[in-house]
Amino acid sequence: MRKRELLIIDDEEAVCWALRRAFERAGYGVQVAASAEAGLNAAKSQRPDAIVLDVRLPGMDGLTALQHLREATKNAPVIVITAHGNLSTAVRALEGGAFDYLAKPFDLSQALDAVARALARPVAG
């Protein structure tokens, strides 16, 4: 069985380091991008199984990137994360096609659970 591949798009090095470490320990392959533009390029070339996407990014913001990522990857679920969220941001993310929404700070177990649930869902096709 092939290793499931994740893409983390976040400009905070500490967040990327912690998520990469947790996901790799759980058996996932992990790619990291520090901007939406770099993440979109990685998503197009790598075709990740799931994406963890921050809302506040340099350049294109995460909610704008969400639409581009959904178009580029078709079925890859996106878990949106943010330290600057509120109910409006969460609603916009979910209406934009995000699978789930996590407010920072979150436990790594919450992120692992969200990705596991996202990968276990039936894929529309």
Read off the tokens for 81: 């994360």
Question: Distances from the Cα of 79 to the Cαs of 1, 6, 86, 87, 97, in angstroms?
Answer: 24, 11, 15, 16, 10
Take residue 20 and report the two structure tokens written for it: 């990469």
Spell out the per-residue pLDDT of the chain, length 125, in tens.
779 999 999 999 999 999 999 999 999 999 999 999 999 999 999 999 999 999 999 999 999 999 999 999 988 999 999 887 778 888 999 999 999 999 988 999 999 999 999 999 876 54
| pLDDT value at residue 123 | 63
- Helix, strand counts (H, E) of the chain: 5, 5
Q: CB under 8 Å to 98, separation ≥6 — which residues?
A: 53, 66, 78, 79, 80
> What pLDDT does 125 receive?
46
Are 33 and 59 contacting, i.e. CB atoms less than 8 angstroms apart? no
